[in-house]
Structure 1
Amino acid sequence: MARSIKFLIAVFAFILSNSACTNLDEELFSSINSEEWYSTEHECTLAMGSAYAGLRYRGTSLWGLYGTEVVTTDEAVIPVHTNGSWLDNNGVWRNLHKHKFTPYQEAINASWEMCFNTVANCNQIIYQVRNSPAQFDGKEGMIAELRTLRAWALYKALDLFGNIPINLEFEDTSLPSQISRTEAFNIIETELLESYPLLQESPISDYYGRCIRPVAFAILAKMYLNSEKWIGHDRYEDAKIMCDSIINRGHYTLESNYSDNFIAENESSREVIWAMPHDRVIGDFGFQMHMYTLHWALLDKFDLNGTWCWNGICMTEAMYDSFSLEDNRREGWEVGPQFYFNGDPVWGYEGGQLTFTKEITNLDASPEGEGVRCFKWEMPQGLNGWETMDNDFAFFRYADILLMKAEAIMRENGNTESSDASVLNLVNQVRYRAFGNDSHNYTSITLDELLAERGRELAFEEVRRQDLIRFGKWGDEWKFKPQSEPYKELFPIPNNVLNANTNLEQNPGY
């Protein structure tokens, strides 16, 4: 596998992973001895690993962004299965799905921590690199890369929490105050616009998993597409420009096989714009879909040793039913009787063959086989203990960019339905790949259908929450969830954060 960034983060990953579950407080330093500044280009490069490392656990874990971005939506649910192991955690996953948010829920707390620890780490490393005696050609580009990573973390905080504190100076030890969402938006935009010209332009192997120029374009495209919802000012033309800045470069294309984006060795995908690299040799935690979704009885099938499988996360029945039978993306979701690779049946714990059904009858006490399981990411063989899967997790994919541009065109033109050739061409590129031919191409498309297509293409990839809010569907009633209030478009600021910084105010409604 591509190892450049994987070994950069390896130095820091073990420490961060083992403290991530319980330690939500960060030790901040007001100064650093000049003798600790990085004295060579190599040392500066290695230092960036600590800035990326925090994303590895909190960015793709159920107990971090994955919980807040996926379980809270109409695409995923975690029922309490009565057998085959289970995932309850005192009702936190059921409450997140029902939009019963509190300032004490671990996934929300860890999401805040991921965002602002990343900002703090970037601040420190930018300061040290900028003041390092080392002089080399890529120094300003390195600082720009760290600014871009920091901007991404702030973009996520802006999305999740609204009015946020921003401090971009390592030497400033004062407690930051909240600023408005508009002010924060403008700061993040400026950081990205100033940084991207200095970033690595093309996706070469040495920059795999790092923030290069198309990553900055993708963040800006997301911000501009959500601008009307977030700050009351539409930026759809700018969203199109940012999408075109990726599309017209010719670096990316749709993989001919959808599943190639999710195999264990997926770092060669021509579709992935930015991914969080995962590799079992680095250490514990990371991306553990096998643990989240598999029934305990499947441990032997996948030769999982000393590993817990929680028989937990499932796709909702409504989302699964949105796939046509001919849609090859449906193959990533497991329904039906379970077999070993030699064809022998896998026996469940409630009598008979283990069989997954699409229907979930009871969120609080569900039979062991209820719920569509996630096989979208290739299931690993031979993992030990809590090792992460090897599949790299894509934060941005080219298919998303195509669908975003189509949406921006429709919204800019005021269309709730469109037969515009440019819109159809963009969406039908994704649609053609999904079916292998043009028999299911759109001849016209509504915004509601575009949202449904985004759901099928990007399911479980940490985009659905933002999409539902932008399309005005977040508060809708769905199975096991009543209609929720508009204030729940933002999560509560964690209580420990409010206690630590009295300049902050809780989001309205909490």
Structure 2
Amino acid sequence: MKMKNITSRAALCSLVLITAAGCAKLDEKLYGSKSLYGNNAGSAELNGVYTQLYGQTDQANTYALQEHPTDEMMGPTRGTDWGDFGTWRKLHTHTWTPTHNQVNDTWDQLNIGVFRATQVISKATDNNIKAQASFLRAYFMFQVVDLYGQQPMRDPDAPTSSIPTVMKRAEATDFIIKDLEFAEANLAATTANIGVANKAAAQALLAKVYLNRAVYAATTVGGPFTFAKADMDKVIEYANKVTAAGYTLEPAGKYFQDFAWDNSEQSHGNIFGFYNTATSSPAPAKNRWRMGLHYNQTPDGWNGFTTLADFYNSFEATDERRGVDYPGLTDKVGLRAGFAVGQQYGPGHKALTQRSGKPLIFTPDVNLNFSTEAQGIRVFKYFPQPKADNTVNDDNTSNDYVILRYADVVLEKAEAILRGGTDPMGQTALQLVNSIRVPRGATALTSVDLAAMLAERGRELYWEGWRRNDLIRFEKFNDPVDQRPAKTDKSKTIYPIPQRAVDTNPNLKQNPGY
């Protein structure tokens, strides 16, 4: 299986301009003129910034850098499939270098987003447009700061001979907060769909930034971290604002409706992401099921990524999040929502086989360097809508793709309380964690500590692109996991700056350990 290349020639050239000694003004044609977000986004130029977010749905780059190095995902090589010159193995084993293809491509994608948003901000006269661009710039910058620890910046009107300045991690974090504060003050309270940023989106991202501020302000990469009470109080403040906006947790038995094909209509907690319909899905969620589906399942997939057995075993058997028969899905094409292990079935509950004819039984055991096509527990958090004839055409899929959702905000508030913050509403970390666990069929906890908090975040937010961020904050990122038996150095909590970026911008300094 070859990696899908989602970096266009135009995007790559733009990045070289951004990080090199000179930078020409980007051609407005890069934005396009077709409105993808209706009247809410407000301009074709702003649509171009939203469009740059589409790379977040790919199985590679930002998503891969945030998930593969963790305790919940790996990409095993299966014969000649998924070798890809070791790109997935190097991520899981923490053996990447400054020339790693996905380290390079992610840097490109995110920094192009920062630059495009900056262009819009510099020219916008409408505060709502400027606020949306500020939110989007903050999101791109948050990912750059989280992954790389440095943020190059360049004035769009600067001469081509200018060299981009570079903000260090703490300085860039303060910049992100200012962008989000402006966005919160000027965004609409509600929007037509999750594809357009509103006040709650800014508040949810502010909560996440403040929760991680200790990581970004630390004098030593990888910790130890000191969580300031003032920052934790800010997490709680913004979490309470999101609650006041009307977002709620899904009721018992409805966990997967945040990800299903009708989540636009059914979700109570999705705050920001990509809006898709059955006739127009510019940023579809289909990669999330294709990357694990076997070739003989319906729909067929790429037979790639798996979870780790230890992570799967962290769920109670009664926990809905571990996996359920989903009406309209399981009864039609055999897929279950959540984790897939054991004998797999197709339409008509027919037991499926591998290409060799052996039973298609997904097994917990998996080897990163060589696995058979049936090894590894798969994950189908998102899933397609079958047609009446029990087939699936996933060229266009109506699942909204979710970046920020309310359950994450609730757990962030609980963690902030546990780390010393004060909630004016009087809630406790234990109450908040159990408000998520109990409706899912998990046993109510009698106490909660940091270890329990990290575990619960994993069970609630698995495969949503936040696990690396969480593990680093809890100082567990470098711990041994399956297929990575030795503890790794703390320098791996941050990725290297791509070597070609360092070579072309003297203001960039390579990160420690590289």
For 1:265, the aligned partner's letter is D
Residues 478 and 22 (structure 1 numbering): CA distance in 2 closer, same or farther, change over 3 Å?
Answer: farther
The reply on whether 1:433 has 2:443 as its aligned counterpart is no
Partner of 2:473: 470
Q: TM-score, normalised by structure 2?
A: 0.83
Q: How big is the alpha-carbon RMSD for the aligned residues of Structure 1 and Structure 2?
A: 2.8
Match of 1:328 in 2: 320
The amino acid that maps onto 2:463 is F
SS of 1:25's equivalent in the other structure is helix
1:262 to 235, 259, 264: 259
Secondary structure of 1:293's counterpart equals coil
Q: Residue deviations 1:383-407, cap 9 Å, x none? A: 669x465422211111111111111
TM-score (norm 1): 0.84
Q: What SS does structure 1 have at the residue aligned with 2:296? A: helix
Residue 208 in structure 1 maps to residue 194 in structure 2 = yes
Residues in 2 aligned to 1:340 and 1:30: alpha-carbon distance in whole angstroms = 53
State yes or no: 1:348 paired with 2:345: no
Answer yes or no: is 1:141 the counterpart of 2:117: no
Aligned mates of 1:285, 1:88 — CA distance in 2:
26
Deviation at residue 264 of structure 1 after TM alignment? 1.6
Aligned counterparts of 2:280 and 2:309: Cα–Cα separation in 1? 36
Partner of 1:493: 497
- Determine helix, strand or coil for the equivalent of 1:480: coil
Q: 1:407 aligned to 2:410?
A: no
What whole-Å deviation, never above 9, does each CA across 1:20-65 have from its counterpart, x for those lacking one? 48952316543889xx999x99694333211011111x21212221
Superposed, 1:84-123 pairs within 5 Å as: 86-123=81-118
C-alpha displacement of 1:148: 1.1
Contact 1:51 1:118 in 2 (8 A): yes
Query: SS where residue 508 of structure 1 aligns?
Result: coil
Please say if 1:297 is aligned against 2:313: no
| 1:192 to 1:431, Cα distance in 2 relative to 1, 3 A | same
Question: Which residue does the alignment assign to 1:396?
Answer: 404
Aligned to 1:7: none
Q: Which amino acid aligns with 1:296?
A: Y
Match of 1:51 in 2: 49
Paired amino acid for 1:468 = L
Contact 2:236–2:421 (8 Å) recurs in 1: no
Q: Which residue of 2 aligns with 1:133?
A: none
Whole-angstrom CA distance in 2 between matches of 1:280 and 1:484: 44
Confirm or deny: 8 A CA contact 2:276 2:282 kept in the other structure: no
Is 1:275–1:396's contact at 8 Å kept on the other side of the alignment? yes
Alpha-carbon separation, structure 1, partners of 2:32 and 2:9? 30
Contact 2:203-2:238 within 8 A present in 1 as well: yes
Match of 2:148? 161
More moved, 248-257 vs 219-228: 248-257
Partner Cα separation in structure 1 for residue 137 and residue 84 of structure 2: 31
Structure 1: gaps of 5 or more residues: 1-15, 131-138, 415-419
Alignment size in residue pairs = 461
**Alignment partner for residue 248 of structure 1, among 220, 231, 244?**
244
Residues 31 and 273 of structure 1: is their aligned pair in 2 closer, same or farther, counting only changes over 3 Å? Answer: closer
For the residues of structure 1 that align with 2:68 and 2:243, how far apart are their CA atoms? 31
Which residue of 380, 383, 388 corresponds with 1:378? Answer: 383
Relative distance call for 1:45 and 1:354 in structure 2 (3 A) is same
Q: Deviations over 1:184-242 (max 9, x none)?
A: 1111111211231111113x32x531221111111111111111222046211111111
Q: How does 1:474-485 map to 2 (within 5 A)?
A: 474-481=477-484, 482-485=486-489
Residues in 2 aligned to 1:185 and 1:449: alpha-carbon distance in whole angstroms: 28
> Is the Cα contact below 8 Å between 2:284 and 2:399 reproduced in 1?
no
Q: Provide the rounded CA distance (Å) in 2 between the counterparts of 1:181 and 1:52.
A: 24
Shift of 1:500: 3.2
Shift of residue 353, structure 1, vs aligned partner:
1.1
Q: Which structure 2 residue ranges, 5 or more long, are not aligned? A: 18-22, 219-226, 324-337
In structure 2, relative to structure 1, the CA distance for the partners of 1:172 and 1:255 (3 Å cut) is farther
The answer to whether the 8 Å contact 2:276/2:283 transfers is no
**How far off is 1:100 after superposition?**
0.8
Give the aligned residue type for 2:64.
G
Letter aligned with residue 357 of structure 1: T
Counterpart of 1:366 in structure 2 is 371
Does the 8 Å CA contact 2:164/2:507 hold for their aligned counterparts? yes
Corresponding residue SS for 1:73 = coil
Tell me the CA shift for residue 114 of structure 1: 2.2
Using a 3 Å threshold, how does the CA distance of structure 1 residues 120 and 383 change in structure 2: closer, same or farther? farther
CA–CA separation in structure 2 for the residues paired with 1:462 and 1:322 = 19
